[in-house]
Amino acid sequence: MNQSLELLDLGLKDYKETWDFQESLFQNILQIKSTNRKENLELETTNYLLFVEHPHVYTLGKSGNIENLLIQEERLKAINAKFYKINRGGDITYHGPGQVVGYPILDLENFFTDLYKYLRLLEEMIILTLAEYGLKAERSKGETGVWLDVGTPFARKICAMGVRASRWVTMHGFALNVNTDLGYFDNMIPCGIKGKAVTSLNVELGKAEVSMEEVKEKLLKHFLVLFEAEVKQKEPIEM
């Protein structure tokens, strides 16, 4: 089992371009696994963790309802945003500058074969990271992601999650609001859940801006511990 990780920080990158890149890594892992099965080989599969920020974009998962996007195409253009229907689970979400988006592209057979555990560990990574900033983040029963003040009238979501998996290979991932312009969430029903607010780390801390690099460092630290993984030192991969 290969529990090393290729870490790629893509900076600010177009959503569709990044999605295509994810898909290429995802399909490559699947191809290696298929070859192993057919030819009785034991070729090693590679695991990746991508960090990225996207320009303004709304994405709708396979089980999502387009009615949860509250604006028309003309308005999308006016606010310089794009929209995509994509192949992850979950409903609608927003990505934009000031948000740390993480895409773990893992062969879970290198770690454990349990998608429930996978999602819970991603949530735990966020919870532990926010705890370092003095915030008590939690899970909300039946709602994937990470929240604050669960079970109160002030419940608000700070991290959305949606994944795709095939033959134990994952793609897509999580989006943690750090310095996010929360006004963009007014154009949708976040994750299709009515009556719930969203928030960001800088709002919760009462700061104009929180270091994105610091947040990514903390996320990576907890990811490596929770998944018992290590970062493999290698030349960066070109998209």
Binding residues for substrate are: 88-95, 160-162, 173-175
Asked whether the beta carbons of 168 and 32 are under 8 A apart, the reply is no
Residue 191 among the catalytic residues: yes
Binding region: 88-95, 160-162, 173-175
Tokens of 56: 């303004």
Pairing outcome for strands 197-198 and 92-95: unpaired
Residue among 69, 119, 191, 215 flagged as catalytic: 191
CA atoms within 13 A on the CB side of 58: 29
Task: Say how far apart CA 157 and CA 197 lie, in whole Å.
Answer: 6
Half-sphere exposure of 59 (CA within 13 A, CB side): 25
CA-atom Rg of the chain in angstroms: 18
Give dist(CA 125, CA 99) in Å, integer: 16
- Tell me the three state secondary structure of residue 212: helix
Active site (catalytic) residues: 191
